[in-house]
Structure 1
Amino acid sequence: MTGAVPTGLEQTGWGTDGWRPPSQPSRPLSARAITRGRLGAGLVEVPRVPYRDPTTAVLENPVVAESKRFCCLCGGKVGRGTDGEPGATEGFCPRCGTRFSFLPKLAPGDVLGGQYEVLGCLAYGGLGWIYLARDHNVNDRWVVLKGLIDTGDTAAMAAAVAERRFLAEVEHPNIVKIYNFVQYPEPTTGTMVGYIVMEYVGGNSLRELALARRRPDGLIDPMPLTQVIAYGLEVLPALGYLHGLGLLYCDLKPDNVIQTDEQLKLLDLGAVRRMDDYESPMFYTAGYGAPELGRRGPSVASDLYTVGRMLAVLSFEFPEYRGVHKHSLPGVEQVPLFEVFESYHRFLLRATHADPGRRFGSAGEMADQLVGVLREVCAIGGDQPPPGLSTVFSPQRRTFGSQAELVPPDPAEVAVALPVPQVDTDDPAAGYLATMTGTDPATVISGLDSAPMITAEVQLRRARALIDLHDLSEAAVVLAEVAEDSPGDWRAEWYRGLVAVADGQPAQARAAFDSVYDSLPGEPAARLALAVSAELCGDQQAAARYYELVWRTDNTYVSAAFGLARTRLAQGHRSWAVEILDSVPDSSSQHVAAQVAAIHVRISNRAGRELAVTDLVEAGERLQRLSLDATARAQLVADVLSAAFAWVQAGGDGVAIRVLDCPLTERDLRFGLEACYRALARMAGTISERVALVDRANAVRPRTLT
């Protein structure tokens, strides 16, 4: 893994020196989504896998490799060769005496249930051989028969019976369809063996697709991250469907997921069990199974753990996922992909957390965050995803830090501008809280005093109102109560971050928002909060990184554009700051503010010698294109002419150049400034302002004979 290049990085254009607008505007993904299939939520293209002719998939010599032959009872090695002689495919375990057999029990030409004619073996796995057959009763359609490796394995028999019972309930486009269950006598003993009849899915498993990506050096080249995430987004709804039926899949891995054309299907439901089943044998694969399985058994959390492990195995070189990292992930220093795609790293860390309670709560929640991660990955790669709608955060309440001078935002302003968590509709008080939408904070607090019940949502709404009123100490008390009643609730941590921001404690805010980012790696709101807290801490590099991620991913967060421009300006990159401000679309309510800020970036806080005549000309041209009220226009004209005046006094020669129709000579600029100040004086709101502006006009006007 050392020195490996993260998959897809060579196409991303992501540099260590920060944000650079593309030379050609990237097209929004929404403009191209109609050409894409269903894989990847319409955001990415996934290579199609052609339908595979079933007759070409039949094994010529169906043999279980000796390295995979183990006793079904004690787990000891069986059927192994010695002294160059091949091992026996049938016999008895030398350790415990249990009978084993790895021979197929069906032969080509066998007919099961009077309708299913066997053509041969397709594959073998932990629970049984898989055969290809034709259903002569239904248009000779191709079907798959799944039986047992060893009919003497009582645990495997029980699993097959359980599979038959569960599969009658399952009907989902991403789960293999079960048609029937038939029995056929075992050829040597005559014992009736059960076989599941399921649809034939002609494609390749994700394991086969991964193994096909070999580099010239023989190592596996991981799949592009967008493709891996697309697979995850297809698998999660299927798991969520099973969970809704009270079932657990238990054995997700690349071998058990097959792609055909643009569709994925889960195969091999032999490990499926009911959530309340504490007695049936448990089947899972080492390296994918959650660490608590042996102690607590399977759960929704352990199923979601397998999703995280599968995505990890597919997305980067992970040779030790069954050994050293059997229940952990390698670090950033070992996986360059994690350094570039931080949100993906945090997603995997939560998905595979050792504590089941710290993982995602449901397949739906996990999918929501994975979509957010995919949007960011696409943005880093140069695409512009369409704006997304968060399921857990409100939109940004207002834009902060949009002052023309690009000064750091006021902490109190930030605290009341950042998005807030959505109300949990399952909370008993959700309906009552909905009546307070748009109500001022003081009235909200008064209304909450008469709430029908005190719930977590009521307390969180109280904390939000207190923050808006800047009653931070009382808000902290309320949040402490929520955290005590609901430990680990990211919403309480979010509001703690808002309290810390408003209280001028950016380091504490940054820690709180970082914790939220761990919980919600797909949310731009979490990255925006982390960006502004890093900026207030003085960490311009980290702030720029997070602002950039937010702005690239979702350009409805205009605060991120102003923040990124501020950090780049603080780092001395004026041209970058202007380009960032220019990327605020003209459809945004902050477009004019961004253009005014761009003018100030060109001309402000620079000595006359630091200015270039091109800065002055461009500033004037920008100003002429803007629609501003009279006062704002006159003030901005005065700012531009003042900068031009300083440039001329520093030795600039602009006799042949005009800015805002004013020749760049000292006399003409004095007349121009005098006219601006007198116009501003006429529009002044107070006498003192008017007098000050008239004095400035008199001071700057050139000496004349009249």
Structure 2
Amino acid sequence: MNACARPGCKGTIDEWGFCDDCGHKAKSASPPPAPVVPTAAPASVPASVPSTAPGQTAPSRPTSVPWRRSGVVLPSLPPRDPATETSAVVVVPETRRHCRRCNEPVGRGAAGEPGPTEGECPKDGARFSFTPGLTKGEQVADRYEIVRCLAYGGQGWVYLARDTHLSDADTVHWVVLKGLIDTDDPSALDQAINERRHLLKVKHPNVVKINDFVTHRDARSGRLDGYIVMEYVDGPSLQELFLEHRDHRGQRAPLPLTHVLAYAMDVVQALGHLHSLGLLYCDFKPDNALYAGGEVKLIDLGAAVRADDPGDTLLATPGFAAPELREKGPSVQSDLYTVGRTLAVLSIEFHGFTREENWYALPSRTVTPLFTAHEAYYRLLRRATHIDPGKRFSSAEEMYGQLEGVLHEVLAAQDGTARQPVSTRFSIERRTFGTESTEDDEIDWTRTPDALPSPLVDPRDPAAAHLASITASTPDDLITALEAIPVESDEVKLQLVAVRIAHGQLEQARADLAELAEAAPGDWRLAWYRGILAMAAGQPRDAVAEFDAVFDAVPGELSPKLALAAAAEAFGDDERAGELYRLVWRTDTRYVSAAFGLARVLRRQGDLAAAVEALDGVPESSSQHVPAQVAAIHARLSPDAAKPHLLDASARLERLRMGIEQQADLSVRVLEAALDWVTASAETGHTGEVLGRPLEERELRFGLEQAYRDLASVTDAASRRIELVREANRVRPRTLF
């Protein structure tokens, strides 16, 4: 075996052309052939499991429309002229030379001499050739003029050609010819072409266009060969982009995560289109996607099969292929598995991913900095590559939505700009929680479920129209209306659970969830409502476990992270709550509860400046702007508050417009803090003013006296008024009159 050419790598290239250490091909290597994997009985495509829930109807996102990647700066590559582009001669490594009949090694060298590229198999006499069958200038189907050989793939050679029917003196129409099947049987070739005619109907901006299927008689052997004619895409493969990428120090490094996620979104859209046509791609890997014109195109559809009849064999690549492929055959989930593996390979230093012991494993999060920095990305990969197909994403559309959500989070973490992504799984925050508490952080966590976002109704559910038409407002009326819906539906049952929890009927809600769990045990919405139920019952520890399971299922959604943060804070885990509150608030400033939660955690940790910064992010247009500023004032009035903090609190209070009683109460607190600071300071002659009073003890006492009397004048309780007047008299400075 040959040594890996990557600098610093001590691995060797295996028979598939991959390094057994770093896991990547040498830059000059041609695409490895995908091994033929026998399948079991034809596997049907699993139906998509509805992944939304009661509440508002989920908006749909058509996978056929490319998403505009706002905020992602992808590489801008100069155009290349295929006519002048030079490339090395494509040589098939000896380790990849096998007889097409018996699969025994052929064309191997001995005694230091290279093996022959043409000859006969010593076992069964079948002729082999590992040199391109078409030469420059040769005409195929009296239309396609061969320019050069591009690569050697699992089904044969790949060539660049000129379409003479569409080219003229000014414009050359380039195409790619790919070997269709390796057979001496003309009837088998005709059958293979007919079987692949369905690829002509695949039309999507992220899938290479199949133009035609043609045959051509080999000049040397006289055999009739078949070729797929595809559009030419002027761009490198994702594998080439990976191998050529350098970090700011000029060192080899994985691709930027934002790029990888954006590329994957294009790929998933392409796969979604194939799946909608009843096709499965089967063998996705970085070599099979080209980047050109700011988007990714899926190429090499030769391995695609019909979902309802995949046949007895299929192409797959170790390190990318799903574990169940050999026994159960291909599926939507096995296609999405390959995308998850590709994401991991391109984004981290995934050493040895082609070794058998690593085929179905991800590196540990604790030793992978990228996974530590972006937990949602790690969880997305973990779900996409789960060993159990039933626990992976159920559809390309579902995976696309989670990729988009994770991308928004990563972008927000990088540039600090909130994205406000549109979720197809959850509503936005219905109400806020924790915004009334300013000092003691006494929050009634059992009321949190009333404020958290709610899962959206799957528009495909048979009861979706009935749910949308309900206008009842009281819990009793809602329950009556839901029970009257004539359609049997999980959405209706989940909506009933939500209403029962809100109405305090916790035991009935618990029983309903247990019944639903028997019918749909893998539905993540059950975990969501179990978490909501646990919060309502005052059991935050149980809620943490349930919301964590939802985070696993929909890693790109913010709502589970907000719920998990609330449960963690209620349980007393400030570290976990703080990191989740920060992530949510940084990504979407519509989740105002996250700002207050982050500020509470930071204040308890002693980082008052950061707490105030979080609260200052609540915009003036928000109904919670004044409460946020009030909380910021309280944060400034800590026992160790310094002069700048007092002046800042005063300035904030003077800018606010609020009720007379609240204004008077805050004035008392600010002046009390200022008086405490002045009397504790050994210095004299302080400059500056607090609420119009100089920072002098006498002036502050006069100001505080008036503030107490103002507060007493707007206080209803007589006992409280008397107490405030006494405080006013106590702080009044001594005078002669």
TM-score (norm 1): 0.89
1:191-238: per-residue Cα shift (whole Å, max 9, x none)?
322122111111111111112236899984211111111100111111
1:281-338: per-residue Cα shift (whole Å, max 9, x none)?
2111111110000111000000000100111111111122111210111111332211
Give the SS at the match of 2:212: strand
Corresponding residue number in structure 1 for 2:641: 611
Corresponding residue number in structure 2 for 1:313: 345
TM-fit CA distance, 1:534: 1.4
1:385-443: per-residue Cα shift (whole Å, max 9, x none)?
42111110011111111125151532122121111100112222211211235723232
Letter of the 2:100 counterpart: C
CA contact (8 A) 1:182 1:194 kept: yes
1:531-556: per-residue Cα shift (whole Å, max 9, x none)?
11111121111111111111111111
Change (3 A) 1:310 1:625: same
TM-fit CA distance, 1:702: 3.8
Letter of the 2:657 counterpart: S
Corresponding residue number in structure 2 for 1:227: 259
Tell me which moved more, 281-290 or 295-304.
Answer: 281-290
Corresponding residue number in structure 2 for 1:659: 690
CA contact (8 A) 1:346 1:518 kept: yes
Question: Is 1:510 aligned with 2:544?
Answer: yes
Give the alignment partner of residue 706 of structure 2, picking from 675, 684, 694: 675
Residues in 1 aligned to 2:326 and 2:258: alpha-carbon distance in whole angstroms: 33
Residues in 2 aligned to 1:451 and 1:692: alpha-carbon distance in whole angstroms: 58
Give the alignment partner of residue 601 of structure 1, picking from 594, 610, 635: 635
CA contact (8 A) 1:49 1:204 kept: no
Corresponding residue number in structure 2 for 1:355: 388
1:29-70: per-residue Cα shift (whole Å, max 9, x none)?
xxxxxxxxx787222101123332212446563432212212
Question: Is 1:640 aligned with 2:702?
Answer: no
Change (3 A) 1:39 1:68: farther
Give the alignment partner of residue 210 of structure 1, picking from 242, 247, 254: 242
TM-fit CA distance, 1:162: 5.9
Change (3 A) 1:489 1:654: farther
1:642-670: per-residue Cα shift (whole Å, max 9, x none)?
22232334346466542101233443333
CA contact (8 A) 1:58 1:121 kept: no
Letter of the 2:574 counterpart: Q
Residues in 2 aligned to 1:539 and 1:317: alpha-carbon distance in whole angstroms: 32
Tell me which moved more, 467-476 or 141-150.
Answer: 141-150
**Share of identical aligned residues, percent?**
50
When the two structures are aligned, how many residues end up with a matched partner? 667
Give the alignment partner of residue 89 of structure 2, picking from 39, 54, 61: 61
Question: Is 1:627 aligned with 2:626?
Answer: no
Tell me which moved more, 353-362 or 41-50.
Answer: 41-50
Change (3 A) 1:437 1:96: farther
Corresponding residue number in structure 1 for 2:417: 384
Change (3 A) 1:155 1:310: farther
Give the alignment partner of residue 299 of structure 2, picking from 264, 267, 286: 267
CA contact (8 A) 1:40 1:229 kept: no
Residues in 1 aligned to 2:188 and 2:237: alpha-carbon distance in whole angstroms: 23
1:140-185: per-residue Cα shift (whole Å, max 9, x none)?
4111111258444999958952663221111111111122222111
Tell me which moved more, 264-273 or 279-288.
Answer: 279-288
Q: Which structure exhibits the higher relative contact order, with contacts defined as CA atoms closer than 8 Å and separated by 6 or more residues?
A: 2
Question: Is 1:477 aligned with 2:515?
Answer: no
Tell me which moved more, 89-98 or 409-418.
Answer: 89-98
Letter of the 2:677 counterpart: W
Tell me which moved more, 192-201 or 690-699.
Answer: 690-699
TM-fit CA distance, 1:97: 4.7
Within-5 A mapping of 1:221-260 = 221-260=253-292
CA contact (8 A) 2:181 2:192 kept: no
Letter of the 1:348 counterpart: L
1:539-580: per-residue Cα shift (whole Å, max 9, x none)?
111111111111111111111111111111111111211122
Within-5 A mapping of 1:57-206 = 57=85, 59=87, 61-95=89-123, 97-139=125-167, 140-147=172-179, 150-152=182-184, 157=189, 160-161=192-193, 164-206=196-238
Question: Is 1:537 aligned with 2:571?
Answer: yes
CA contact (8 A) 1:466 1:475 kept: yes
Corresponding residue number in structure 1 for 2:470: 436
CA contact (8 A) 1:39 1:45 kept: no
Give the alignment partner of residue 371 of structure 1, picking from 404, 428, 437: 404
Give the alignment partner of residue 547 of structure 1, picking from 557, 581, 601: 581
Change (3 A) 1:217 1:423: closer
CA contact (8 A) 2:181 2:225 kept: no
CA contact (8 A) 1:155 1:281 kept: no
TM-fit CA distance, 1:586: 2.2
Tell me which moved more, 109-118 or 352-361.
Answer: 109-118
Residues in 1 aligned to 2:733 and 2:503: alpha-carbon distance in whole angstroms: 51
CA contact (8 A) 1:479 1:492 kept: yes
Residues in 1 aligned to 2:563 and 2:593: alpha-carbon distance in whole angstroms: 10
Letter of the 1:346 counterpart: R
CA contact (8 A) 2:182 2:225 kept: no
Corresponding residue number in structure 2 for 1:685: 716
CA contact (8 A) 1:398 1:417 kept: yes
TM-fit CA distance, 1:492: 1.0
Give the alignment partner of residue 621 of structure 2, picking from 587, 608, 617: 587
Change (3 A) 1:165 1:562: same
Letter of the 1:353 counterpart: H
Residues in 2 aligned to 1:174 and 1:658: alpha-carbon distance in whole angstroms: 64
Residues in 2 aligned to 1:93 and 1:158: alpha-carbon distance in whole angstroms: 26
Within-5 A mapping of 1:271-350 = 271-323=303-355, 324-350=357-383
TM-fit CA distance, 1:703: 4.5
Residues in 1 aligned to 2:720 and 2:654: alpha-carbon distance in whole angstroms: 26
Q: Unaligned stretches of 5+ in structure 2?
A: 1-7, 10-65
Residues in 1 aligned to 2:69 and 2:189: alpha-carbon distance in whole angstroms: 39
Give the SS at the match of 1:204: coil
1:658-706: per-residue Cα shift (whole Å, max 9, x none)?
2101233443333322322222232223444434433433443344455
Residues in 1 aligned to 2:362 and 2:582: alpha-carbon distance in whole angstroms: 27
CA contact (8 A) 1:603 1:640 kept: yes
Give the alignment partner of residue 571 of structure 1, picking from 605, 614, 629: 605
TM-fit CA distance, 1:116: 1.4
1:221-269: per-residue Cα shift (whole Å, max 9, x none)?
2111111111001111111000010111111111111112312111111
Letter of the 1:614 counterpart: P
Give the SS at the match of 1:528: helix
Change (3 A) 1:215 1:662: closer
Letter of the 2:601 counterpart: T
Residues in 2 aligned to 1:649 and 1:629: alpha-carbon distance in whole angstroms: 30
Change (3 A) 1:193 1:630: same
Residues in 1 aligned to 2:642 and 2:503: alpha-carbon distance in whole angstroms: 46
Question: Is 1:496 aligned with 2:534?
Answer: no
CA contact (8 A) 1:163 1:269 kept: no
Give the alignment partner of residue 680 of structure 2, picking from 643, 650, 662: 650
